[in-house]
């Protein structure tokens, strides 16, 4: 007991401790009962007395109980592990997938343009990992807090499958968004995109970025939407510098 507590006719001084057990009543409410006799001055409070503890007001006051994600079928934990393994394998296979994409488009390029394959694959792989990490560490926590805050008046039961799908979706979205500098590098090297073009089209690009941020953001509030838009705007500026440094006119072989 942190504060002086009145229990029936007895007054329990602060600092008093007692072993207690948690039980759920017929209505599903949690109740805390003493599991041993409690000595409060000259009064002895017997075992099994209901303690005046509000779990809704103090959700962390329940020792040994923690919120966990739920599963609804016996196979769901196994399928969830399989799903996470598949997405992890896809993330590790990004360099190989990018190389295959390059192998598909390279026959239509000039010989000197095919030399950009290795830088493109390397930059794209690093950008994808950086985007996924940014989503997990920066974007996901405030987005989750906002969404969970909307459900304060409800009894929240988070399904493990939906929870991980949400995380993976946000990470994949930002992994793709972070490809902007790598794509700009290769397009500027082969002469399709220039820094002048990107600067001239900045207004249209800004509108596209804001629309994309609104679509990709899992929430409808402006602060979380700006968490998506801000890195995209920064990546667009970086892309302009990349196009300025590496861009050149397309030359025939």
Tens-level pLDDT at each residue, the chain (253 residues)? 556 666 655 666 665 666 666 666 666 566 666 666 766 666 666 666 666 665 444 444 444 334 678 888 888 889 999 988 998 888 888 888 888 887 887 787 777 777 777 888 888 889 999 999 999 888 888 888 777 777 666 767 788 888 888 888 888 889 989 999 988 988 888 888 888 999 999 999 999 999 988 888 877 778 778 888 999 999 999 999 999 988 766 555 4
- The owner of tokens 């590496």 is 246
> How much is the pLDDT for 65?
39
DSSP symbols for 65-128? -----B-SSTTHHHHHHHHHHHHHHHHHTHHHHHHHHHHHHGGGS-GGGGGGHHHHHHHHHHHH
> How much is the pLDDT for 241?
92
> How much is the pLDDT for 23?
65
> How much is the pLDDT for 87?
87
3-state helix, strand, coil in the chain (%, to 5): 60, 10, 30
Q: Where are the domains of the chain?
A: 5-61, 76-246
Whether the predicted model's global pTM rises above the 0.75 cut: no
> How much is the pLDDT for 103?
81
Closest CA to 190 of 102, 99, 58: 102
> How much is the pLDDT for 208?
93
């Amino acid at each position: 007991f942190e504060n002086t507590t009145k229990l029936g006719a007895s007054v329990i001084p602060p600092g008093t401790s007692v072993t207690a057990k948690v039980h759920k009543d017929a209505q599903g409410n949690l109740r805390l009962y003493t599991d041993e006799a409690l000595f409060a001055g000259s009064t002895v409070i017997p075992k099994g007395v209901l303690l005046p503890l509000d779990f809704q007001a103090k959700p962390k006051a329940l020792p040994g109980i923690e919120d966990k994600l739920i599963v609804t079928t016996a196979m769901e934990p196994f399928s969830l592990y399989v799903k996470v393994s598949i997405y992890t394998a896809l993330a590790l296979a990004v360099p190989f997938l990018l190389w295959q994409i390059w192998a598909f488009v390279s026959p239509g390029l000039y010989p000197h343009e095919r030399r950009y394959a290795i830088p493109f694959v390397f930059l794209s792989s690093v950008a994808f990992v950086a985007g996924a990490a940014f989503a997990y560490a920066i974007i996901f926590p405030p987005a989750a807090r906002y969404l969970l805050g909307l459900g304060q008046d409800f009894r929240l039961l988070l399904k493990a499958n939906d929870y991980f799908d949400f995380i993976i979706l946000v990470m994949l979205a930002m992994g793709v968004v972070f490809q902007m500098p790598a794509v700009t590098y290769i397009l500027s090297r082969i002469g399709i995109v220039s820094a002048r073009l990107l600067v001239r089209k900045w207004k249209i690009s800004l509108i596209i970025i804001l629309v994309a941020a609104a679509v990709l953001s899992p929430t409808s509030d402006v602060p979380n939407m700006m968490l998506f838009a801000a890195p995209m705007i920064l990546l667009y500026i970086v892309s302009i510098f990349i196009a300025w440094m590496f861009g050149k006119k397309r030359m025939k072989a």
